[in-house]
Structure 1
Amino acid sequence: MMANTAGEQMLSEITAMLYELVPTINVEQIKSQLSSIFSQYHVTRIEQHEVHPDLHEKIQLFLSSKKLEGLSQITLDSYKLDLKIFADKVKKKTDEITAADIRVFLAQFNHLKLSSISKKLSVLKSFFGWLASEEIIQRDPTAKLKPPKQEKRLPKALTIEELEMLREACKTTRQRAFIEVLYATGCRLSEVHALNRSDVNYQSLSCRVIGKGNKEREVYFSFKAMYHLRKYLMSRTDNEPALFITERKPYRRLSKRGIQREIAKIAANAGLEKRVSPHTLRHTFATLTLNNGAELAAVQALLGHEDPATTQIYAQLSNEKKREQHRKYLVQ
């Protein structure tokens, strides 16, 4: 039998778990067989509160490096949170962490959506991949781990009719400005939230936004968007530099959550059953412009996508467009 107490405790816990799963097993026989295997190893119990200082140190190094690479504070905070949860659960020295440890860690989140588990794995891949590339560890334990297969769903864009319903449901100048700016520019919520009045170029009907990875790009307003944005700005009597502000004093930049709530309110007024968010309007911009004949590369640049494959998911022709293309190009 094993000499160390931690090994004895581990043996008892595993045997108890197996008995819960399969009550018909012979407990003594299983315990005896596992004992012979465990006797070849020295088992050390890690205290619950203990996080290995080496892992904590490596996480700090990684975050500092990513900050220098220009990652946004939002992304850095997200990385920090996911890696803290990982360090709290996997209490090992960094170079001793295995693919099995990571699988066990991710298995704890089976109540989450596959996309959320994929995100956690993506953060770990980024972390361990960086450590391996910097030669801080000899091997990357995430190298052979593949993200869970997700059901491919097309982004839910609005139809032209639904977009018009949203426009007509707006009850304030600010609401209409939201709809027109989000749709015409195809901006992300975070990009619109950060805009200031001084960012708008009225001559070129454009503005510059800071997207993912701290990358700047130019986006454009339609004449309709510019008309409603001007109308909203002219109705304001404050000196707040933000493009979109709260309706009540003290006036301040409207939060991202505030913008989301306002879009949801407009959708409810319009009687739309589908969930409508600022990102829905970004999807709508991409889908309708591609269906109207815009080049994929141009839409990719306007959306700020690095990978053309990300933009390609919007390039699903509507049934009407497919019929039109069939009639136009089929050789009779």
Structure 2
Amino acid sequence: TSLVQDFVADCRARGLSLRTVDWYDATLTRQFLPWCASEEIQNPGDLTPQVVGRFTARLIERQGPRGPLSRSTVRSYVRAVRVFLAWVQTPEGGAAAVGASPRLPRPEQRVLDVLTREEIQTMENAAKTERDKLIVRVLADCGLRLGEVLALRAEDLWEPRRGEFALKVRGKGSRDRLVPLAPALCRRLRRHLTARAADRRDPVFVALRKGADGGYAALTKSGLEQAVRTLAREAGIEKRVYPHVFRHSFATEWLRRGGNIISLQRILGHSDLTMIQGVYSHLDTSDDYQAAMRVLMGQD
């Protein structure tokens, strides 16, 4: 238990995102430590390949409140344990010998349900306020995470080079990045902020109604999720629509148009290509063919 507490404290000290640290903490204290106790594991050296294999198997066979755990959930649990056991072997973790680390189960081959550009435009058209129209457009054209949208401030509209616009985004793990922003969208955001007389430190997106103090509170996670659900319903879109689906849709459209995968990695804020290669395997051979023809034949 003390090792887990030290690991969580070290993660915080290294500036990992609060959500990531909480996930590590919850996984280790609610999943891994109880399992170690049931297996009478006293130290990391007791983790033989056979023993850790039983941990992964137990997760796969386990029944949750809604049935078996999904393969992606199992993988996220195992990944957290692997990160912890790797840390245990470092000087910060005491340089303990670890017998074995659990292997990641093979991922499910999922087909992502993404939004077409036409569906996104229909949602924007259904919005009754400029705020909601801009929420749709920023989600769709910038590929931001929900938390990144909520964290945007007026001062985050940048012009790093003359005529080139970007959003300064505070990403996971306290990693800032610049995300390209279309000039027309930048102008709309600036007009929106000017109409509100927003200060440079004010959130880009706020509640539609004033609070008891006479000011507009920052838009909340639940408020943004509700706005997206409402717009999808009013636009007549029957598929499940949530903020992160815009991120998937952005990446899918980027790859289908033959966009550079390294640039996409930087725009999305991934530390490497693993996530992109795993998540966007739903693109079919036709997409590969079209990308190849654009390269070989110079098609636009």
TM-score range, shorter chain: 0.7 to 0.9
How many angstroms does 1:224 deviate by? 3.3
Q: Secondary structure at the match of 1:242?
A: coil
Structure 2 residue 97 is the aligned partner of structure 1 residue 138: yes
What is the aligned-residue identity percentage? 28
Closer/same/farther in 2, CA of residues 318 and 173 from structure 1, 3 Å limit = farther
Check conservation: 2:258, 2:291, Cα contact below 8 A: no
Structure 2 residue 55 is the aligned partner of structure 1 residue 102: yes
**1:223 matched residue in structure 2:** 183
Check conservation: 1:263, 1:278, Cα contact below 8 A: yes
315-324 or 162-171, which deviates more: 315-324
How many angstroms does 1:90 deviate by? 3.2
Q: Secondary structure at the match of 1:205?
A: strand
Structure 1: distance between partners of 2:204 and 2:243:
16
**2:121 matched residue in structure 1:** 164
Check conservation: 2:72, 2:107, Cα contact below 8 A: yes
Structure 1: distance between partners of 2:80 and 2:291:
44
**1:48 matched residue in structure 2:** none
Structure 2 residue 13 is the aligned partner of structure 1 residue 68: yes
301-310 or 270-279, which deviates more: 301-310
Q: Secondary structure at the match of 2:177?
A: strand
1:41-96 deviation digits (Å, cap 9, x = unpaired): xxxxxxxxxxxxxxx11001111222232211221111111111132453243334
Q: Secondary structure at the match of 2:258?
A: coil
**2:36 matched residue in structure 1:** 90
Check conservation: 1:246, 1:254, Cα contact below 8 A: yes
Structure 1 unmatched ranges of 5 or more: 1-55
**1:246 matched residue in structure 2:** 207
1:94-149 deviation digits (Å, cap 9, x = unpaired): 3345426634753563422111111111111111121134454322432xx32232
Closer/same/farther in 2, CA of residues 183 and 59 from structure 1, 3 Å limit = same
Q: Which amino acid aligns with 2:227?
A: E
Closer/same/farther in 2, CA of residues 324 and 308 from structure 1, 3 Å limit = closer
Bigger relative contact order, structure 1 or 2 (CA pairs below 8 A, ≥6 apart) = 2
1:145-180 deviation digits (Å, cap 9, x = unpaired): 322323222433322221221221111111101011
**1:18 matched residue in structure 2:** none
Work out which of the two has the higher radius of gyration on C-alpha atoms and give 1 or 2.
1
**1:21 matched residue in structure 2:** none
Q: Secondary structure at the match of 2:203?
A: coil
Q: Which amino acid aligns with 2:87?
A: W
State the TM-score, normalized to the length of structure 1.
0.72
Closer/same/farther in 2, CA of residues 226 and 124 from structure 1, 3 Å limit = same
Q: Which amino acid aligns with 1:63?
A: V
Closer/same/farther in 2, CA of residues 73 and 283 from structure 1, 3 Å limit = same
Matched residues, number: 273
Q: 2:171 aligns with which of 211, 222, 225?
A: 211
Q: Which amino acid aligns with 2:130?
A: T
How many angstroms does 1:320 deviate by? 8.0
66-75 or 108-117, which deviates more: 108-117
Check conservation: 1:174, 1:232, Cα contact below 8 A: yes
How many angstroms does 1:215 deviate by? 1.3
How many angstroms does 1:232 deviate by? 3.0
Check conservation: 2:207, 2:219, Cα contact below 8 A: yes
Structure 2 unmatched ranges of 5 or more: none
State the TM-score, normalized to the length of structure 2.
0.79
